[in-house]
A = this chain, B = another copy of it.
Amino acid sequence: MNLDELDTPVLLVDGDAFDRNMKHMATLASQAQVAWRPHAKAHKSPAIAEMQIAAGACGICCAKLGEAEVLAAGGSRDILITTPVIGTSKLMRLMQLANQTTVSVVADNESNLEEMATCAHNAGVRPDVVIEVDVGQQRCGVPPGHEALVLARQVMESEWLNFKGLQGYQGSIQMMPDFDSRRTANLDALGKLIETAVIIRNDGIQVDYLTGGGTGTSVIDAAAHGLTELQPGGYLFMDSRYRDIEWAHSKRIPFEQSLIVMTSVISKPADNRCIIDMGLKAVSSDGGPPVLQNLPHASFKFAGEEHGELAWENGGCPLALGEKVFFIPSHCDTTVNLYDRFIVVRDRIVTDVWDIAARGRVQ
């Protein structure tokens, strides 16, 4: 099927750019001799997870238990859940999952660990636990230092939990525009994680697993040799926010834009504007409006949930009814989460369809 034959709005992946991104991260990690466990929250697709494993990834990260369940059902065999799993109902689901595949989960709370141990005992499994350290984001995690040691001890003393190591993720710095500032902030965060590992090691507990990092700090993390495992997610797709940050002093962006929303003109009500079939339900807006790819003189604005408007300040809309208009999403994760599949295109031909099977799995 040709690109022009697809109904719109549709979520496209430029297959060649995607392949280069896939390969580039594998090379980056391999040259730095660091493991990489890409984050499935970006793609929510067992098919892509499988490709990442084939490219050398050591396993997969999932943000939520429900996402992990779908990835495991789709064949993923080593999954880290990067958000705490709270409450008996979810912990029992976690143990069912741990019975099927290798699962590790982050934790930052004593009572959660107690309940987890009870559930693990009841289910007869022994999941891996990663203590989450707040290295600056002020989200989940215990402060660096002693509190992490207390939780590590608790895990070590539990017959039904296995202490795997530490997670320190600094999501809020991934998109700092200035490269030097981002590197400074990232090395500061990394220092807190390493310092915590030292404190735990000094207590006689082995810590040989430090996981974290994202696409925006991937180059920095690979060079720093602090983390033992990288968690990049968005690198496969990129988006306008990632595109607009400074990547290094050379200014070269190491990853290419591969995610595109293709839309069509559905109404031409005036000479200086037209209406397209992409509104708030077809691309996410939390990172700002999407960026027009092929019409330098037009401006875009949302016109409700189902429509978008293109306007030309000086008149002269050059588009015919039905003509295709292409957009770069501002935020790849939340745009992917609106769609059920990726349509993969190479040289304007559809070569693959990848299901976004874990779409909407927020539980």
Contacts and interface: CB of A to CB of B under 8 A. Distances in A.
Interface of A: 5, 7-10, 41, 63-64, 83-84, 86-87, 89-90, 93, 108-109, 111-112, 134, 138-143, 171, 264-269, 273, 275, 277-278, 280-282, 284-286, 302-307, 309, 321-322, 331, 333-334, 337-340, 359-360, 362-363
Contacts of A281: 333-334, 337, 360, 362
A338 B360 contact: yes
A267 B140 contact: yes
Nearest to A143: B269
Contacts of A7: 87, 89-90, 93, 363
A265 B86 contact: yes
Nearest to A283: B362
B305 A334 contact: yes
Contacts of A143: 269
Nearest to A66: B7
Given A269-B139, A275-B140, A360-B339, A63 B264 contact: no
A87 B266 CA distance: 9
Contacts of A303: 139
A302 to B, nearest CB: 8
Contacts of A286: 280, 285-286, 302
Given A282-B362, A334-B281, A363-B8, A138 B264 contact: no
Contacts of A363: 7-10, 277
A223 to B, nearest CB: 25
B112 A321 contact: yes
A275 B139 contact: yes
Contacts of A306: 41, 63-64, 83, 362
A60 to B, nearest CB: 15
Nearest to A63: B306
**Which 6 pairs across A and B sit closest by C-beta, in order of nearness?**
A140-B267, A7-B363, A63-B306, A282-B362, A87-B322, A285-B286
B337 A304 contact: no
Contacts of A264: 86-87
Contacts of A340: 360
